[in-house]
Amino acid sequence: MAILKYVPKGRNGEYIFSSTEEDKPIRGIGKFYRTRLPREIIACNGLALSSPFTAHDLRRTVATRLGESLGVGGEQLIKKVLGHSDGGVTAIYNRYGYVKEMRAGLEAWAKELNT
């Protein structure tokens, strides 16, 4: 299975998902997924997407791959990364954001992707 790597041609700013050459964050993400992203993918590797996808597909991929990396017990961290709320009583008292843990999990997955 080939991994698609997005490498912008003339990177000017800090936003990958942008309609202004990485200068500003994207507005209208749905249109971005239908038009610009497929064009950029074709420009980068010469192949079109086999089927259209949405932001939910990316979220699903992140959740699945983090689950593979973290194993059993990683569900809580996956919820945090996806921005899902925890409706339990403990969540009312525990206000810790788990930012360090989320970063560590995502960095471990990024390292895995780059190998």
* Per-residue confidence band for 21, with pLDDT thresholds at 50, 70 and 90: low
Q: What is the DSSP letter of 4?
A: P
Q: Which of 8, 85, 74, 92 is nearest to 43 (CA)?
A: 8
Per-residue pLDDT at 101 exceeds 50:
yes
pTM for the complete prediction?
Answer: 0.58
- Between CA 106 and CA 2 the distance in angstroms is 20
- Between CA 54 and CA 5 the distance in angstroms is 17
Per-residue pLDDT at 6 exceeds 60:
no
- Report the pLDDT averaged over residues 13-24: 64
Q: How far is CA 42 from CA 53, 67, 73, 111, 113, in A?
A: 15, 30, 38, 25, 21
Token duo for residue 28: 């209208």
Per-residue pLDDT at 20 exceeds 70:
no
Q: What pLDDT is stored for residue 64 in this prediction?
A: 92
Question: In the Cβ-directed half-sphere of 7, how many Cα atoms lie within 13 Å?
Answer: 6
- Between CA 71 and CA 105 the distance in angstroms is 11
